[in-house]
């Protein structure tokens, strides 16, 4: 029976790395500990340049690197030394018979395939960056972790030198490194397979779409306290919320991540300075800054907060511009779970960091919304292009005026805002807007009639026209204003509907509440009824021809 050695002293190392960060220091450390280093072409050259003795792979194999580097370490003299089980006398006898020496350590990292593709390289260049010998070494040594330690991450070089100084890697360390190594090659192959399927498959959709999930952090719990949960990063098209830095506050929770994601989805749909306030993945505040605002992001936040100040309590706020001191001063007295933004001015950070319970999340450099969305269903995964980019019906110049007078520029701006904003709430969604801010949102209803009612109710019973942050610093701090004192924000507002009105009844609710203009996709069997109702009411109605359902 094979037993496993616990600690294996490191006497001989195979080092073949594309990323040469920390290589010279590693080589010096290994060499001073008496470890023989065997390396491929430019790795060996760099080790030598650092004044460290090195044996070239070609000296071991007696065969030069050929085919422009496609064959370097792919040789039995190398791979027998990597794969020999030191607990099996037969293996060691065979090495001796063929005059092959075993390795105790392999240090390898791979050609930058993902980075090459991302740089816009040609297919031929990308293919040349598919590492073959590297993954073979990594997989072989990870399989043979009973006898060999495999290190793929330059950040772990200090761990190598510590282990070498302490008599070698323990079995526990070698097992952990083997998991990392197979994860490294698995995500590498996933990237290659996904890229090849995208480029070589003839079908409408690639036959394979891989996701390599890497544990980022364990979360306290999931959506509810009895649900264990963790955050994994995935190889998505751009860095996102999962890569954001927590500048202040307690660890992000599962629901914080979900809401922060919905918040940036809503705020970053706009090119102008915009702020979204999210509760339970739905917006309760959404606005872009006024054109003449002194502090654009503070203005956008003031307007977004005014959408529904009661619901903003305990919300997640996303800004698509760095948070200014003025915005921070508005936010500081509102109980807020998370503020997520591309940055915080030093003053804004100081103001908000004085609040113990707020989390400040800074988006990573290069942040962008993903271009592809995955939605898990039982037994499978739905994949679609994300609904963030301009769809044909998003261009107002192509909208069809089907009722009333053409909108004047101010009303048209509100319609354009409302049409962009209505994709943030879950469908069925009706969004009322004024001055490029949402003033009433009906979302997530199972019929459009109720969404219309909800949007009107929110516009006319919640919040006030002017909402200083102090008014809403605690539950009950903002009142549900109704009756004679109720604001009438529906009158004169515009409405967007994320999908067509199946009947005229929903539209009639908006008309009766004083909505002056509506934008909607059209396409209902009863469009004529809906358009007739708009004409009777004398309101403006545009059809976009495009729908923006969002099921979340
Ligand atoms: N073909 C081979 O035999 C082979 N052996 C090692 N490599 C890779 O060559 C790189 C190191 O090469 P160099 O030391 O010449 O920079 C490493 O990323 C390693 O993964 C190889 N290259 C690619 O397939």
At 5-25, the pLDDT tens digits run 589 899 999 999 999 999 999
| Distance from Cα 133 to the centre of ligand 1, integer Å | 6
pLDDT at 482: 54
> Backbone phi, then psi, for 384, in 5-degree steps?
-150, 160
Q: How confident is the model at residue 480 (pLDDT cuts 50, 70, 90)?
A: low
Residue 106 beta carbon below 6 angstroms from any ligand 1 atom = no
pLDDT at 462: 63
Which parts of 228-343 are beta strand (E)? 229-233, 245-248, 274-279, 282-288, 315-319, 336-341
Q: How confident is the model at residue 481 (pLDDT cuts 50, 70, 90)?
A: low
pLDDT at 217: 95
User: Within 10 A of 45 (CB to CB), how many other CB atoms are there?
Assistant: 14
Residue with the bigger pLDDT between 470 and 213: it is 213
Stretch 355-380: mean pLDDT: 93
Residue 43 beta carbon below 6 angstroms from any ligand 1 atom = yes
Q: What pLDDT digit, counting tens, does each position of 179-206 carry?
A: 999 999 999 999 999 999 999 988 888 8
Q: Does 483 have pLDDT greater than 90?
A: no
Atom of ligand 1 nearest to the CA of 74: 3
Closest C-alpha to 437, from 453, 451, 407, 458 = 458
CA–CA separation, 432 and 307 (whole Å): 10
Known catalytic residues? 143, 280
pLDDT at 238: 81
| Distance from Cα 79 to the centre of ligand 1, integer Å | 14
pLDDT at 205: 86
Mean per-residue pLDDT of the chain: 92
Atom of ligand 1 nearest to the CA of 40: 14
CA–CA separation, 176 and 180 (whole Å): 6
Nearest CA to ligand 1 atom 4: 133
Closest C-alpha to 54, from 45, 65, 66 = 45
pLDDT at 474: 33
Residue 190 beta carbon below 6 angstroms from any ligand 1 atom = no
Stretch 523-550: mean pLDDT: 97
| Distance from Cα 73 to the centre of ligand 1, integer Å | 7
Atom of ligand 1 nearest to the CA of 19: 18
pTM above 0.95, yes or no: no
| Distance from Cα 549 to the centre of ligand 1, integer Å | 49
Could you give the ipTM of this predicted complex? 0.93
Residue 82 neighbours by CB under 8 Å, 6+ apart: 14, 103, 106, 137, 140, 141, 144, 148
Closest C-alpha to 267, from 204, 359, 341, 168 = 341
Q: How far is CA 146 from CA 38, 91, 94, 288, 494, in A?
A: 21, 13, 18, 60, 69
Nearest CA to ligand 1 atom 20: 134
Residue 111 beta carbon below 6 angstroms from any ligand 1 atom = yes
Residue 41 beta carbon below 6 angstroms from any ligand 1 atom = yes
Instruction: Tell me if 541 sits within 8 A of 513, measured CB to CB.
Output: no
Stretch 406-425: mean pLDDT: 97
Instruction: Tell me if 437 sits within 8 A of 284, measured CB to CB.
Output: no
CA–CA separation, 182 and 162 (whole Å): 23
| Alpha-carbon torsion angle 61, 64, 66, 68, nearest 10 | 120
Residue 435 neighbours by CB under 8 Å, 6+ apart: 290, 303, 414
| Distance from Cα 41 to the centre of ligand 1, integer Å | 8
Tokens linked to 123: 């297919």
pLDDT at 464: 46
Stretch 366-383: mean pLDDT: 91
> Backbone phi, then psi, for 452, in 5-degree steps?
-65, -45
Residue 127 beta carbon below 6 angstroms from any ligand 1 atom = no
Tokens linked to 545: 């021809």
Residue 501 beta carbon below 6 angstroms from any ligand 1 atom = no
Q: What pLDDT digit, counting tens, does each position of 64-112 carry?
A: 999 989 999 999 999 999 999 999 999 999 999 999 999 999 999 999 9
pLDDT at 401: 98
| Percent of the chain surpassing pLDDT 70 | 94
Q: Picking from 124-128, 394-398, 468-472, which range would have the lowest pLDDT averaged per residue? A: 468-472
Q: What pLDDT digit, counting tens, does each position of 312-365 carry?
A: 999 999 999 999 999 999 999 999 999 999 999 999 999 999 999 999 999 999
Which parts of 391-436 are beta strand (E)? 400-403, 430-434
Q: How far is CA 381 from CA 191, 259, 369, 376, 378, in A?
A: 18, 21, 19, 4, 8
How buried is residue 36: exposed, middle or buried, by Cβ count under 10 Å (0-12/13-18/19+)?
middle
pLDDT at 475: 34
User: Which of 19, 73, 184 gets mutated to test ligand 1 (max ligand atoms within 8 A of its CB)?
Assistant: 73
Q: What pLDDT digit, counting tens, does each position of 487-504 carry?
A: 799 999 999 999 999 999
> Backbone phi, then psi, for 116, in 5-degree steps?
-65, -45
Closest C-alpha to 75, from 94, 90, 62 = 62
Atom of ligand 1 nearest to the CA of 135: 20
| Distance from Cα 170 to the centre of ligand 1, integer Å | 27
């Amino acid at each position: 029976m094979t037993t496993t050695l616990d600690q294996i002293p490191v006497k001989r190392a195979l080092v073949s790395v594309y990323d040469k960060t920390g290589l010279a220091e590693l080589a010096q450390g290994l060499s001073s500990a008496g470890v023989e280093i065997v390396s491929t072409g430019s790795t060996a050259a760099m080790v030598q340049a650092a004044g460290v003795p090195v044996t070239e792979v070609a000296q071991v194999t007696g065969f030069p690197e050929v085919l422009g580097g496609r064959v370097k370490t792919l040789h039995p003299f190398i791979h027998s030394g990597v794969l020999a089980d030191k607990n099996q006398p037969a293996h060691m006898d065979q090495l001796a018979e063929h005059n092959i020496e075993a390795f105790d350590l392999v240090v390898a990292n791979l050609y930058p395939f993902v980075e090459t593709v991302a740089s816009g390289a040609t297919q031929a260049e990308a293919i040349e960056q598919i590492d073959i010998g590297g993954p073979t070494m990594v997989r072989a040594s990870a399989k043979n972790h009973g006898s060999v330690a495999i290190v793929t991450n330059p950040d772990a070089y200090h761990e190598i030198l510590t282990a070498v100084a302490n008599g070698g890697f323990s079995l526990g360390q070698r097992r952990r490194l083997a998991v990392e190594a197979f994860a490294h090659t698995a995500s590498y192959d996933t990237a290659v397979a996904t890229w090849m399927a995208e480029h070589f498959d003839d079908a409408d959709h690639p036959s394979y779409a891989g996701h390599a999930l890497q544990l980022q952090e364990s979360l306290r719990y999931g959506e509810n306290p009895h649900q264990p949960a963790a955050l994994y990063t995935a190889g998505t098209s751009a860095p996102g919320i999962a890569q954001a830095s927590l500048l202040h506050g307690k660890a992000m929770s599962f629901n914080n991540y979900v809401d922060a994601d919905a918040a940036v989805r809503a705020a970053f749909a706009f090119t102008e300075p915009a702020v979204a306030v999210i509760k339970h993945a739905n917006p309760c505040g959404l606005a872009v800054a006024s054109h003449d605002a002194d502090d654009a992001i503070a203005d956008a936040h003031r307007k977004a907060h005014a959408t529904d100040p009661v619901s903003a309590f305990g919300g997640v706020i996303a800004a698509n511009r760095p948070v200014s001191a003025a915005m921070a001063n508005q936010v500081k007295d509102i109980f807020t779970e998370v503020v997520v933004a591309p940055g915080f001015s030093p003053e804004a950070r100081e103001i908000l960091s004085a609040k113990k319970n707020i989390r400040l999340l800074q988006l990573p450099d290069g942040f962008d919304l993903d271009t592809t969305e995955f939605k898990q269903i039982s037994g499978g995964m739905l994949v679609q292009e994300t609904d963030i980019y301009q769809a044909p019906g998003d261009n107002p110049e192509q909208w069809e005026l089907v009722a009333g007078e053409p909108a004047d520029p101010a009303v048209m701006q509100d319609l354009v805002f409302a049409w962009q904003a209505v994709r943030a709430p879950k469908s069925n969604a009706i969004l009322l807007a004024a001055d490029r801010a949402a003033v009433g949102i009906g979302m997530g209803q199972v019929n459009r009639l109720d969404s219309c009612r909800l949007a009107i109710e929110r516009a006319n019973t919640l919040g006030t026209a002017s909402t200083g942050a102090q008014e809403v610093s605690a539950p009950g701090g903002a009142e549900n204003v109704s009756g004679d004192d109720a604001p009438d924000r529906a009158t004169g507002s515009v409405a967007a509907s994320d999908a067509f009105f199946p009947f005229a009844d929903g539209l009639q609710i908006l008309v009766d509440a004083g909505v002056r203009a509506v934008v909607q996709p059209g396409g209902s069997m009863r469009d004529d009824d809906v358009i007739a109702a708009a004409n009777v009411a004398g309101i403006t109605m545009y059809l976009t021809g495009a729908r923006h359902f969002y099921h979340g």
